[in-house]
Structure 1
Amino acid sequence: MLNMNFNQRIVIHTQPQPWLPSPAQGVWRKPLEREAKESGHTTSIVKYEAGSQFATHKHPLGEEIFVLEGVFSDENGDYPAGTYLRHPPGSQHAPFSQTGCVIFVKLNQFDPRDLEHLRINTQQTPWLPGIGGLQVMPLHEFEHQHTALVKWPKGERFQPHRHFGGEEILVLSGKFQDEFGEYPRHTWIRSPHMSGHFPFVEEETIILVKTGHLPISAM
């Protein structure tokens, strides 16, 4: 098991982390949280070398993907950088990349009732106004769980707040900050239920945010 104590705040600067081999040749991983070696609750950064592929596999409790670099593909289509994908519980596919790609992947973390299948190209989706100078791009919601992109303009400061059901952030560009530290591109932050912080940025920054999905027994 890796980082499966959801009462614990976790910060991983993923860029300097080593790539570890997966069962598929040419596919590499940086595990962030993992219930078991090849099954269960898992969050990872995954790299496909050009021409690599992964065998057909099922998603017992769903798969959530954000394409960070390159073009990710499966038998249903090609997904360029900036694509957000949701494969519901019980789905399956055979992923590959002809030119190479890097993706952020969350496995087996859906509610069994959450059956929405999504393919969103965020490069072609409009931003909506958020609080203050923030811009928001909602991607998915189910009950009290919410996933979105948030764009922070240079110098923006948000009010101190707490996270019901926790908060998970992947910094996509720029540098995210709060009173606890600085988080450059591709930093992964997981904060437990009812944790709080006072976030801000000094440069334009885009983050992928998921809230309300962690156990509420934490804290």
Structure 2
Amino acid sequence: MLDRIGGEVARATTIVRFAPGHSFSPHTHGGGEEYVVLDGVFQDEHGDYPTGTYVRNPPTSRHTPRSDAGCTILVKLWQFDPGDRNQFSKDMAEGLVSVGGGVQSAELHRDAREVVNYFELDPGAALHVNAPGGIEVFVLNGSLMESGEGVRQRSWLRLPDGHAFAGAAGDDGAKLWMKTGHLRFVAAPA
């Protein structure tokens, strides 16, 4: 558990590891679910999602999650616009474009509440993001320095509204998942 607001039904950010052959019962996501497959292959009746896949299951969507071979996912629950019904999955590296200075980016999702991006940084490359509404970053691979602090693979950081992200990739480069704008809508599920 990285973050939780609420009780039994909660707005949450979690890393979940599925043992090989593990599954959950069919369930509906009242507040939506998004996840990034960190390793292995996550599966449900809609498809197989290998490492590097970003998936959005909006409010009212239903599925039966499993992983035949095992996997690890970063999951965010109850963080959607209640009217969102756009369900999709995509390879995060698909459509990468250079934004200069050794940084490539792919926009994964955009709506009035938030923007979700994937970044690949060459060793030593700098990334500066100043977005209203807060910033969340998950380091998928590599490492970086942010505000003088070392941030390694599988680290999560959240910057509140009014704080900019200023990161520089380490000697091994960095791959980042980033969500911006959404923290102004933080509330526990009703």
| Structure-1-length-normalised TM-score | 0.79
Partners in 2 of 1:147 and 1:83 — Cα distance? 13
Partners in 2 of 1:185 and 1:104 — Cα distance? 13
Partner of 2:159: 191
1:179 Cα shift? 2.0
Partners in 2 of 1:97 and 1:197 — Cα distance? 34
The answer to whether the aligner puts 1:170 opposite 2:126 as a matched pair is no
Partner of 2:84: 114
1:37 Cα shift? 4.7
Q: Percent identity?
A: 35
Task: Determine helix, strand or coil for the equivalent of 1:214.
Answer: helix
Aligned AA (1:114): D
Partners in 2 of 1:37 and 1:61 — Cα distance? 14
Q: Which runs of 4+ in 1 moved over 4 A?
A: none
- Aligned-residue RMSD, C-alpha: 1.7
Partners in 1 of 2:35 and 2:165 — Cα distance? 26
Partner of 1:90: 60
1:72 Cα shift? 0.4
Q: Deviation string for 1:101-158 (max 9, x for gaps)?
A: 00000001101122211110235x1311214321001100011511010111111124
The answer to whether the aligner puts 1:156 opposite 2:125 as a matched pair is yes
- Contact 1:173–1:206 under 8 Å retained in 2: yes
Partner of 2:99: 130
Aligned residues: 185
Partners in 2 of 1:209 and 1:58 — Cα distance? 26
The aligned runs of 1:43-62 (5 Å cut-off) are: 43-62=13-32
Task: Determine helix, strand or coil for the equivalent of 1:215.
Answer: helix
| Structure-2-length-normalised TM-score | 0.91
Where in structure 2 are there 5+ consecutive unaligned residues?
Answer: none
Partners in 2 of 1:40 and 1:197 — Cα distance? 27
